[in-house]
Amino acid sequence: MSDQTRTLPRWIDIGLIPLINVAMALVVSGVIILAIGENPIDAVVIMLHGALGYEEGVGYTLYYATNFIFTGLAVAMAFHAGLFNIGGEGQAYIGGLGVGLAMLGLDHVLPMGLLIPIAILMAAAGGALWALIPAYLQAYRGSHVVITTIMFNFIASALMVYLMVHVLIEPGQQSPESREFAANAQLPFIYQVLGWFGIPMAKSPANLSLVWALICCVGVWFYIWRTKWGYELRAVGFNERAAIYGGVRPARVIILTMCLSGALAGFVGLNEIMGVQHKLLLDFTAGYGFTGIAVSLMGRNHPLGIILASLLFGVLYQGGADLAFDVPNITREMVVAIQGLIILFSGALAYMSTPWITRLYFRLHDGATPSDPPKPAHEEA
Amino acid sequence: MADFFLLAVLTLDATLRVSTPLIFCAMAGIFSERSGIIDISLEGKMLMSAFVAAAIAAVTGSPWLALAGAVAAACAMALLHGFACITHKGNQVVSGVAINILASGLTAVLGNAWFQRGGQTPTLDASSRFMPITLPMADTLGQIPIIGTIYKHAISGHNGFVYLGFAVVPLTWWILFRTRFGLRLRAVGENPQAVDTAGLSVTALRYRAVLMCGVLTGLAGAYISIAQNAVFVRDMTAGQGYIALAAMIFGKWRPFHALGACLMFGLLDAVAIRLQGVHLPGIGEVPVQFIQALPYILTVVLLAGFIGKAVAPKAIGTPYVKER
Task: Write down the H helix ranges in A163-276.
Answer: 190-196, 209-226, 228-238, 240-245, 250-269
Q: pLDDT in tens for each of the 324 residues of chain B?
A: 667 888 888 889 999 999 999 999 999 999 999 999 999 999 999 999 999 999 999 999 999 999 999 999 999 999 999 999 999 999 999 999 999 999 999 999 999 999 988 889 999 998 889 988 888 777 788 778 788 888 877 788 888 999 999 999 999 999 999 999 999 999 999 999 999 999 999 999 999 999 999 999 999 999 999 999 999 999 999 899 999 999 999 899 999 999 999 999 999 888 887 777 777 777 777 788 888 898 899 888 888 888 777 788 998 988 888 865
Whole-model pTM: value is 0.91
CA–CA dist A258, A377 (Å, integer)? 26
Question: Any idea what the CATH number is for the domain that residue A101 is in?
Answer: 1.10.3470
Quote the minimal CA–CA distance from B289 to chain A in Å. 5
Distance between CA atoms of residues A232 and A255, nearest Å: 12
Please list the residues that pair with B159 across neighbouring strands.
Answer: B132
Q: Within an 8 Å CB–CB cutoff, is residue A325 touching chain B?
A: no
Distances (CA, A) of B217 to B80, B222, B323: 14, 9, 34
Contact A143 B300 (CB under 8 A): yes
In a domain, A101, yes or no: yes
Contact B205, B188 (CB under 8 A): yes
Q: What is the pLDDT of residue B324?
A: 52
Domain annotation covers residue A26: no
Query: Which of 91-110 (A) contact B at CB < 8 A?
Result: none
Residue B171 C-alpha, separation from nearest chain A C-alpha, in angstroms: 27
Q: How far is CA B216 from CA A78, A341, B126, in A?
A: 33, 24, 24
Q: How far does Cα A340 stand from its chain's mean position?
A: 14
DSSP-derived 3-state class of residue A240: helix
B102 with A344: Cβ contact below 8 A = yes
Q: What residue type is B65 in one-letter code?
A: L
Residues B58 and B128: beta-carbon distance below 8 Å: yes
B90 touches chain A (CB under 8 A): yes
Task: Answer whether A329's CB lies under 8 Å from A40's CB.
Answer: no
Residue A154 in any domain: the answer is yes
Q: Cβ of B289 and A161 within 8 Å?
A: yes
* Least Cα separation, residue B215 to chain A (angstroms): 22
Distance, in Å, from the CA atom of B220 to the CA atom of B204, rounded to the nearest integer, reads 25
Here the ipTM equals 0.92
- Is there a contact between B214 and B45 (Cβ–Cβ < 8 Å)? yes
Question: Judged by CB atoms within 8 Å, which residues 196-255 of B form the interface with A?
Answer: 234, 239, 242, 245-246, 249
Do A154 and B103 lie within an 8 Å CB cutoff?
no
The Cα B261–Cα B13 span in angstroms is 17
Instruction: pLDDT tens for chain A, 381 residues: list them.
Output: 445 446 788 888 878 888 899 999 999 999 999 999 999 999 999 999 999 999 999 999 999 999 999 999 999 999 999 999 999 999 999 999 999 999 999 999 999 999 999 999 999 999 999 999 999 999 998 888 899 999 999 999 999 999 999 899 888 888 899 999 999 999 999 999 999 999 998 999 999 999 999 999 999 999 999 999 999 999 999 999 999 999 999 999 999 999 999 999 999 999 999 999 999 999 999 899 999 999 999 999 999 999 999 999 999 999 999 999 999 889 989 999 999 999 999 988 988 888 888 888 888 877 655 555 555 555 444
Residues of B in contact with A144 (CB under 8 A): 303, 312
Does A333 lie at the interface with B, CB-CB under 8 angstroms?
yes
Chain A CB within 8 Å of residue B315 CB: no
Helix, strand, coil percent values for chain B (each to nearest 5): 70, 5, 25
Nearest to A158 among B91, B94, B292 (CB): B292
Average pLDDT, chain A: 91
Residue B269 and residue B50 in contact, taking contact as beta carbons nearer than 8 Å: no
Give domain status of residue A173, yes or no: yes
Bridge partners, residue A189, by sequence: A207
Count of structural domains within chain A: 1
| Residue A3 lies inside a defined structural domain of this protein | no
A365 in any annotated domain: no
Residues with Cβ within 8 Å of residue B210, at least 6 apart in sequence: B31, B32, B35, B37, B78, B79, B81, B82, B85, B86
Give the chain A residue nearest B286 (alpha carbons): A162
Q: Answer whether residue A222 is part of any domain.
A: yes
Q: Which domains does chain B have, with CATH numbers?
A: 1-124+146-306 (1.10.3470)
Q: Are strands B284-285 and B279-280 parallel, antiparallel or unpaired?
A: antiparallel
Give the gap in angstroms from C-alpha B50 to the nearest C-alpha of chain A.
17
Question: Are the beta carbons of B297 and A155 separated by less than 8 Å?
Answer: yes
Domain membership flag for residue A237: yes
Does B115 touch chain A if contact means CB atoms closer than 8 Å?
no
B143-150 contacts, C-beta under 8 A, 24 or more apart: B146/B5, B149/B5, B149/B6, B149/B9, B150/B9, B150/B12
Q: Which of A262, A97, A155, A257 shows the shortest CA–CA distance to B301?
A: A155
Chain B CB contacts of A350 below 8 Å: 90
pLDDT at A358: 85
- Enclosing H/E stretch for B279: strand B279-280
Closest CA to A322 of A57, A38, A62, A64: A57
Q: For residue A297, what are the domain limits?
A: 39-326
The DSSP result for B55-123, as a single string, is HHHHHH--HHHHHHHHHHHHHHHHHHHHIIIIIS---HHHHHHHHHHHHHHHHHHHHHHHH-STTPPPP
Flag if B109 and A334 touch (Cβ within 8 Å): yes
